Amino acid sequence: MNADIAIVGAGPAGIFTALKLIEERPETHIVLLEKGFPVEKRHCPKDKTGHCVNCQPCNITTGFSGAGAFSDGKLSLSYEVGGDLPELIGAGKAQKTIDKVDKIYLSFGADAHVEGAGHNAQIRDIRRRAIQAGLKMVDCPIRHLGTEKAQELYLAIENHLRDAGVEMRFRTECRDVIIENDICRGVIAAGPDGEERIDAKRVIVATGRRGADWLEHLCSEHGILHTPGPVDVGVRVEMRNEVIEDVNEVLYEGKLIGYPNPFRNKVRTFCQNPGGFVAQENYDGGLAVVNGHSFKERKSENTNLAILCSHNFREPFNQPIAYAQNIGRLCNMLGNGHILVQRFGDILNGKRTWQKELDQSNVRPTLPDAVAGDITSALPYRTMTSIVAFMLAVDKAIPGFASAETLLYAPELKFYSNRVTMDKEFTTSVANLHCLGDSSGWTRGLMMASVMGYLMGERLAAEV
């Protein structure tokens, strides 16, 4: 078949490409390919079974809106947060586009309330404590969608695109892109009715973190210019709300960055979920990773957040995603296919955590099928040493953060290390092929991926 635009992946980048393009050029024939289900059919069986049943593909990470519909749904409203896209397009353009995209989210039902706005005196006090601990604090206004509200919002966007004539093909996987004489001509798609070739004037690859490994192989196979970037390996930390309630109330998400001795790797907090729940996500091949969700209505007694240690590799090594995956598989092996959890005090004491110790703790795990064990047997020494030093520094700014009962879950991995070489118009080394969102290596999170898609749609509208 023929199409004007073929979009691979119905995450925020792909969605906003279609939204902007169809707004400007409603006659455009857009085919949107998505490996998972539409929003209304995305349901995680774990809600009923109490444990992961290894859906293929995972309903939490695939489907319309990608992992966004099942994450905590935070929209960061500052260009300083969300990856390196401002380096490519400029900080001013990034911030202006954030403001435009934010209005679109509001038009589809996002909460008008902004977290982290105001409270200047309290924010200064938290920043002072962070500086004294040798850390940098980035305060960023956040629009919190909430996991359940995000699903409603993205369903409204899905229905809007369908009504506008966008051809959405679910349960359809992109097997390959068609490149002839250094020009992308379309894609090979495999769906319920078999495999077919879709010719398109432009191809947009926006497969999210889940598709980062696939895109890396695609770039290597077709000679699409790219470079290995950093890979983030870390843990998901969980503590009682009382420990971090001043940060929760004032900032909602306190983004702290440090470069602890002895290795000086960048270590940062990410994706804070006040009153949230620790969650498991499954990737292709059965890899189980940990994440965090935060609902608008349903709350727990705990706050969880990620602590990520960035690793930069140099020649001759060029497989950072495989490096992180192997760390994850080792964690899964020790947990018998489940997420590992360990108390921070046990890490300092050089011992594993036992289930009976968790049962007696003030901090009760919100991921009930996590397996008590020893994450230090799986995470690399450099990673673990950096995380421990960082947590002890954060404890000076937020007393109790590094208490003996604080829980650490592993593995927390972020797959966006492959960075596709592009210009500010998102043109790759292959004509008519564009790569967007987290899988491109340029963004991290809902807002910046949406921004990238919006700008792509704007450009296509001027050319199609």
| Domain co-membership, 7 together with 153 | yes
216 falls within a domain = yes
253 falls within a domain = yes
| Domain co-membership, 21 together with 83 | yes
State the residue for tokens 């390996």: 233
| Domain co-membership, 258 together with 165 | no
Q: Which of 414, 430, 452 is the last residue of a domain?
A: 414
| Domain co-membership, 59 together with 194 | yes
Decide if 73 contacts 99 (C-beta within 8 A): no
Picking from 35, 27, 29, 28, the residue whose alpha carbon sits closest to that of residue 10 is 35
Please, what sign has the CA dihedral across residues 336, 340, 343, 346?
Answer: positive
Mean pLDDT by 10 residues, the chain (464 residues): 96 97 97 95 81 82 84 88 95 98 97 88 95 95 87 95 98 97 97 95 94 92 91 97 95 94 97 95 90 91 97 87 95 97 98 96 96 98 98 97 98 86 96 96 94 98 86
Picking from 99, 54, 104, the residue whose alpha carbon sits closest to that of residue 76 is 99
402 falls within a domain = yes
The model's pLDDT over 364-385, given as tens digits with 9 standing for 90+, comes to 999 999 999 999 999 999 999 9
Contacts of 76 (CB under 8 A, 6+ apart): 82, 140, 141, 142, 445, 446, 447, 448
pLDDT of residue 381: 98
| Domain co-membership, 236 together with 346 | yes
446 falls within a domain = yes
Q: What is the count of structural domains for the chain?
A: 2
27 falls within a domain = yes
**What is the domain extent for residue 297?**
120-142+230-414
Q: How many CB atoms lie within 10 A of CB 227?
A: 12
115 falls within a domain = no
The model's pLDDT over 202-223, given as tens digits with 9 standing for 90+, comes to 999 999 988 988 999 999 999 9
| Domain co-membership, 272 together with 199 | no
| Domain co-membership, 43 together with 102 | yes
pLDDT of residue 366: 98
| Domain co-membership, 409 together with 427 | no
pLDDT of residue 417: 63
3 state SS of 167: strand
Q: The domain spanning residue 187 has which CATH number?
A: 3.50.50.60
156 falls within a domain = yes
324 falls within a domain = yes
| Domain co-membership, 269 together with 312 | yes
| Domain co-membership, 250 together with 106 | no
| Domain co-membership, 61 together with 190 | yes
Decide if 39 contacts 154 (C-beta within 8 A): yes
| Domain co-membership, 447 together with 386 | no
pLDDT of residue 464: 65
Contacts of residues 399-404 at CB distance under 8 Å and 24 or more positions apart, as own/partner, are 399/243, 400/239, 400/242, 400/243, 400/244, 401/239, 401/243, 401/244, 402/344, 403/239, 403/243, 403/344, 403/345, 404/343, 404/344, 404/345, 404/346, 404/348
